[in-house]
Amino acid sequence: MRRLLRSFSFRLALIYAGLFCLSVALLVGTGYWLRVTVPMDEVRGRLEREAEQLQTAYGRGDLPPLAAALERRAARLDGPMAFHALLTPEGRTVAANLPSWPLQPRRDLLFIEADAFADGVEIDHTALVRDIRLPNGARLLVGRDVEELINEGEILRTAAVWILGVTLLLGLGGGWLMSRAIGRRIEALTVTVRQVMEGDLTGRVHVRGTADDFDRLGETLNMMLHRIQTLFQAVQRVSDNAAHELRTPLARLIGRLEALEHLAPDASPARLAAGEAIVEANRLQQILSALMRISRLENGRHPLHLQRTDVVQLLEDLFEFYQPEAERIGTNLIVSARRPLVADLDLDLVFQALSNLLDNALKHAGAGCRVEISAMREAGGLVLSVRDDGPGIADEDAARVTEQFYRAAKASAVPGEGLGLSMVAAIAHAHGATLELVAAHPGLRVSLIIPEHHATGAEQRGTI
């Protein structure tokens, strides 16, 4: 329901229905005013005038002439049926064709039921009555029949309720249908765009062939996607070829350098320089491999080999691998995870990711610190974290550390290429996981949150 209310097309339909109801209400209101309010006001005015005239003409004299005048008024057929009642100051009736009236006089106009019988059939009448006290103490009630006006008003009111109700229902129903129809087509667009966003560039919007607005939008989008795909493939080819073409010359370069190192006399400056050059060339090769791997992971071309994994075993192996290094630099390395903790993971990739995180933690936290690797199952899925209590990172760095080659300002003293976290981010992406960097006060906590349900989805994508 909230989703429906948030939908743009439904809100539009709602506004439309509202405006439609308003115009219908205005129409019915005008009819009511013309047919009921105005005639009723006329009757009211006439009564006031009649009461005024009778009061001036007969108000101070005897009652019989007034009674005669009232009888004449009732007999005249110059408007709605006339009603009256004349009472002496003591309350005795002198003349009346009203069936009843209130005991105490009232100052305002009042409605009195004045049903009449003709030939044994009851005819409904309602009289609008003016009740006045004459100067001679007599009480005079004069009225006019407004039964028809009241009936008409009732009919119009009932009609208004029905018309508005039906209009509102039609408006809402129509709005719902419209929003569903539009919503479906927008949803189709959204699904395609999301599919493309997740790395499947072959996704295309389904076009109905009706050449309507959505079809045109879909066609334009498809053309755009086709263009992006072409460009992307071109870039891919270039970078693949580049990386590939770079490897062989690099191998030759390293070969030549090794030959050079070998030829130079022991401990000569030339030999040292050659050795350093080899180290640099190897670094170049590592960067190249890492870049290629990241790019393959990021665009979903690296197939995931998911397997049922004992996560605690994974952490223990990681611990075992890094423990000697942690001991050397004087860091307290801790694993906290409890069996059973099983998940479908790409073992090598997750090990690589955690290894990079641990490597970073050990490098940046330094001696005397505590580094904790933990795994637990939470509502969002499996959470694998590496936490240190070292200096942590600045907020502005947190957003950028996963960028390739980005290195935080204060990390410049620590060796590295700035690709470790990019690799972790790419591995997270391949697993449909999120990478989270949170200040742990003190230190930093980096978590991989791997949603459970995604495991099967990732496998499907991996096989494309």
Partner 1 sequence: MHILLVEDDAALATHIMAGVREAGHVVEHCADGRDALVRATCECYDAIILDRMLPTLDGLKILAALRATDDATPVLILSALGDVDERVRGLRGGGDDYMAKPFAMSELLARLETLARRNAPVAETTSLLRVADLEIDLAAHSVTRAGRRIALTLRELRIVAYLARNAGRVVTRTMLLENVWDYNFDPQTNIIDQHISKLRQKISEDNEAELIHTVRGVGYMMRGA
Q: Where along the sequence are the contacts to partner 1 (CB under 8 A)?
A: 244, 247-248, 250-256, 258-259, 275, 278, 281-282, 285-286, 289-290, 292-293, 296, 302-303, 317, 320-322, 324-325, 327-328, 347-348, 351-352, 355-356, 359, 362-363, 416, 420
Q: Strands 444-450 and 434-439, how do they pair? A: antiparallel
Q: Which is nearer to partner 1, 340 or 415 (CB)?
A: 415
Q: How far is the CB of 296 from partner 1 (least distance, A)?
A: 7
Of 309, 363, 369, nearest in space to 334 by CA = 369
Task: Give yes or no for a contact between 93 and 85, defined as CB atoms under 8 angstroms apart.
Answer: yes
Q: Which is nearer to partner 1, 215 or 258 (CB)?
A: 258
Q: Which is nearer to partner 1, 21 or 304 (CB)?
A: 304
Q: Which is nearer to partner 1, 55 or 285 (CB)?
A: 285
Coil, strand or helix at 437: strand
Q: How far is the CB of 458 from partner 1 (least distance, A)?
A: 16
Helical segments of 264-346, H only? 269-298, 311-329
Q: Describe the crossing of helices 147-197 and 8-32 by its angle, rounded to 10 degrees.
A: 170
Q: Which is nearer to partner 1, 154 or 327 (CB)?
A: 327
Task: Give yes or no for a contact between 334 and 371, defined as CB atoms under 8 angstroms apart.
Answer: yes
The strands making up 332-336's β-sheet, listed across from edge to edge, are 332-336, 370-378, 381-388, 444-450, 434-439
Helical segments of 299-411, H only? 311-329, 347-365, 395-398
Handedness of CA 193, 197, 198, 202 (dihedral sign): positive
Q: How far is the CB of 401 from partner 1 (least distance, A)?
A: 15
Q: Which is nearer to partner 1, 263 or 439 (CB)?
A: 263
Q: How far is the CB of 390 from partner 1 (least distance, A)?
A: 16
Q: How far is the CB of 211 from partner 1 (least distance, A)?
A: 45
User: 4 φ, ψ to 5°?
Assistant: -65, -45
Q: How far is the CB of 177 from partner 1 (least distance, A)?
A: 50
Q: Which is nearer to partner 1, 55 or 352 (CB)?
A: 352
Q: How far is the CB of 331 from partner 1 (least distance, A)?
A: 12
- Structure token digits, residue 79: 């408007």
